Amino acid sequence: MNKVFLAGRLSPELDMRVTVSGKAVCSFSLTVAFRTRVREETDAIDCVAWDALAELIGQEGGDGRRVAIEGRLHSRQWESADGQRKKVTEVVVRDIEFLDKPG
């Protein structure tokens, strides 16, 4: 089973674009806080959303809004222009719930 549930804050910078086939895609980071025995820490989790969900996040997201997301982990790799192999693991978002009001 590959299912992820996260709650955190959207990064202020959302990368909205459209593929050559006309699909909307939004890449962003989700900052998730957690507590250790010593202190509170945060992780920035890479996320991507497609189609109508990407458009919704592009319109309503940003500015550190609190959200809950549901999705799946996906790893992909590619070769950069300078010939280096790159790899990223990200959450492919299937659903999002905004937990606060904009602004």
Taking residues 66-71, report their average pLDDT. 97
Residue 25 CA to residue 49 CA, distance in Å, equals: 6
**Which numeric CATH code is attached to 4-75+90-97?**
2.40.50.140
Domain boundaries, the chain: 4-75+90-97
Give the pLDDT of residue 103: 64
Look at residue 93 and tell me whether its pLDDT is greater than 70.
Answer: yes
In degrees rounded to 5, what are phi and psi of residue 39? Answer: -160, 175
Over 90: is that where the pLDDT of 101 sits? no
Q: What is the reported pLDDT for 102?
A: 75
> pLDDT digit string (tens) for 75-84?
999 998 899 9
- For residue 87, is pLDDT > 90? yes
pLDDT tens profile 14-58: 999 999 999 999 999 999 999 889 999 999 999 999 999 999 999
Residues 6+ apart with CB under 8 A from 95: 53, 69, 70, 71
What is the reported pTM?
0.88
50 neighbors 72 (Cβ within 8 angstroms): no
Q: Between these two residues, 101 and 39, which has the higher pLDDT value?
A: 39
